[in-house]
Amino acid sequence: MKRILALLMAVVFLFSFFTGCTSTKGDKKTTVDSTTKTETKTETQKEETKASEEKILLMALPEPTGDKFSGMWGDYGGAARCMMFRRLLMTDKDLKPIYNDLASSHKVSDDGLTFTFTIRDDVKWHDGVAFTPEDVIWSIHMALKSTQISSIFANNFRKILGAMDYVEGKADSVKGITQSGNDIIIKMTEPSSTFLLTMAQWPPYPKHLLEQEPPETLHIAKFWEKPVGNGPYKVTQFIPGEYAILERFDDFYGEKPKIQKVKLGNIGEGDYVTKAQANELDYFMTRSLEIVEEVLKNPNYKAHPVDILYLRYLNFNMTGYGGKGDSLIADKRVREAILYAIDRESITNQLFPEQGAVLHSMVPTGMPEFNKDVKKYEYNPEKAKELLKEANFDFSKPLRITYYYNDQQTQDLMDAIVYYLGEVGIKVEHFLVQGDITSALYDKKEYDMCYAGFAPTCYEEIYAIFKSDDQTYIKLRPSTPNKFDPLIDELVKTTDLAKQTEIIKKLQLVENEYMWNALLFSLRNYVLVNESRLIRPGDYGHEWTNYDRSIEKWELK
Q: Are 315 and 451 found together in one domain?
A: yes
* 298 alpha carbon, distance to own chain's centre: 28
Q: Are 326 and 429 found together in one domain?
A: yes
Residue 485 has pLDDT above 50, yes or no: yes
151 or 103, which is more confident? 103
Q: Are 100 and 63 found together in one domain?
A: no
Q: Are 533 and 518 found together in one domain?
A: no
pLDDT at 47: 52
Tell me: the pLDDT tens digits for 209-240? 999 999 999 999 999 999 999 999 999 999 99
Q: Residue 32 — left, alpha, or beta (φ > 0 → left; ψ -120 to 50 → alpha)? A: alpha
Tell me: the pLDDT tens digits for 263-281? 999 988 889 999 999 999 9
Domain assignment present for residue 334? The answer is: yes
What number of other Cβ atoms are within 10 A of residue 161's Cβ? 17
Contact 89, 201 (CB under 8 A): no
The percent of residues in the chain predicted with pLDDT above 90, rounded, is: 67
Q: Are 516 and 540 found together in one domain?
A: no
Helix (H, G, I), strand (E, B) or coil at 492: helix
d(CA 240, CA 242): 5
Q: Are 75 and 114 found together in one domain?
A: no
Please spell the DSSP secondary structure of 19-39, one letter per residue: HTTEEEETTEEEE--TT---S
Apex CA 111: angle with CA 151 and CA 93, to 5°?
A: 50
Torsion from C-alpha of 524, 148, 452, 330, nearest 10 degrees: 140
Q: Are 374 and 284 found together in one domain?
A: no
Domain assignment present for residue 7? The answer is: no
Q: Are 350 and 213 found together in one domain?
A: no
246: amino acid identity, one letter: L
pLDDT at 136: 98
Q: Are 80 and 93 found together in one domain?
A: no
Which region among 328-337, 434-443, 498-507, 535-544 has the lowest average model confidence (pLDDT)? 434-443
Strands 356-358 and 399-403: unpaired
Domain boundary among 165, 194, 219: 219
**How many domains, in total, are found in the chain?**
3
Q: Are 401 and 344 found together in one domain?
A: yes
310 or 168, which is more confident? 168
Which residue range forms the structural domain that includes residue 204? 86-219
